[in-house]
Amino acid sequence: LAVPYLDKPPTPLHFYRDWVCPNRPCIIRNALQHWPALQKWSLPYFRATVGSTEVSVAVTPDGYADAVRGDHFMMPAERRLPLSFVLDVLEGRAQHPGVLYVQKQCSNLPTELPQLLPDLESHVPWASEALGKMPDAVNFWLGEAAAVTSCRHYEKLYCVVSRQEAIFCSISQARTEPEVLGRLGGLLLASDVFQVPWIPLDPWLPDLARYPSYSQAQALRCTVRAGEMLYLRPGLDLHAQIPVLPTVNFWYDMEYDLKYSYFQLLDSLTKASGLD
């Protein structure tokens, strides 16, 4: 399936009517042209501006932050490192075990890198007006080429500031039960036993022998380039490959409205019929 393009940001009314209500993803071009970050952000700029700042860095053996390994749901180990050291690793000047990925899903841009805030808007005005709220989180992502992220649940606006980012979107789900096993291979396992809806496969190389139903899944794959913004509806599972480039992500908490009720009904019927 192809993701539609818009040549300019929509009005709040059009965004809500044409994309939010129908739960349709889209890529918005010319959405960030007024951001100074589009011209300023680069690895040398980060080194000069925030190089000495310590940031939260996810460390994984293979680049997958938050992942299913066997029957276990595991989160990445987290380290506090100077951003300049991360930049050294990205540029091949230094080495560190595992794959490094600057990310934190609780608004790390304003909390850890406030020096960069003058380079962009604090929210997306037309989206905030359409959704009737401010972003729940504003996240800064920067990682090695092997870094892969997965997430769902929020209304998401991904803003690519330089180069390009390949993103794969899938509507498949899975549930697995993590166990208390401590640290393993650079991944931190969840400390409590509970069910976690997640994607247990690699959408680029799916194991169809183990997950035959995935062959029937409708999937989206797209490339978002500098100055473009990707809107993803809540509930759409996401796998994103993030090369060495900065990305800003605005997450708006989803509304538990009629669409959510329909989704829960469909999910319950699927499980009751044995189709999950």
- Please answer whether residues 97 and 187 qualify as being in contact, where contact means their C-beta atoms are separated by less than 8 angstroms: no
Q: Considering only CA atoms, which of 45, 51, 43, 50 is closest in space to residue 85?
A: 51
Q: 36 by DSSP, 3-state: which?
A: coil
Please state, in angstroms and rounded to a whole number, the distance separating the CA atoms of residues 266 and 276. Answer: 11
Q: Is the pLDDT of residue 67 over 90?
A: no
Provide the sign of the torsion angle of the four alpha carbons 210, 212, 215, 216, taken in this order. Answer: negative
Condensed to tens digits (0 to 9), the pLDDT of residues 176-198 reads 333 333 333 444 455 555 555 56
Task: Give the pTM.
Answer: 0.81
Which residue, among 66, 98, 60, 100, has the nearest Cα to 178 in the 3D structure?
66
Cα 53 from chain centroid (whole Å) = 23
Segment 248-262, tens digit of pLDDT: 999 998 777 777 787
* 174's tokens: 């899975």
Task: Identify the weakest region by mean pLDDT among 99-108, 167-176, 199-208, 266-275.
Answer: 167-176
pLDDT at 43: 93
- Give, in order, the Cα–Cα distances in Å from 5 to each of 8, 34, 234, 246: 9, 19, 19, 22
Q: Could you tell me whether strands 164-170 and 237-241 are parallel, antiparallel, or unpaired per DSSP bridges? A: antiparallel
Please state the separation of Cα 232 from the chain's center in Å.
Answer: 10
Could you tell me how far CA 94 lies from the centroid of its own chain? 26
Mean pLDDT of 214-218: 74
Task: Please give the pLDDT value at position 74.
Answer: 77
pLDDT of residue 182: 34
All structural domains of the chain, each given as residue ranges with its CATH number in brackets, are 5-272 (2.60.120.10)
The pLDDT mean for the chain works out to 81
What confidence tier does 170 reach under pLDDT thresholds 50, 70, 90?
Answer: low
Q: Is the pLDDT of residue 221 over 50?
A: yes
Per-residue confidence (pLDDT) for residue 193, from 0 to 100: 53
Convert the pLDDT of each residue in 114-163 to its tens digit: 999 999 999 999 999 999 999 999 999 898 877 776 655 567 888 988 76
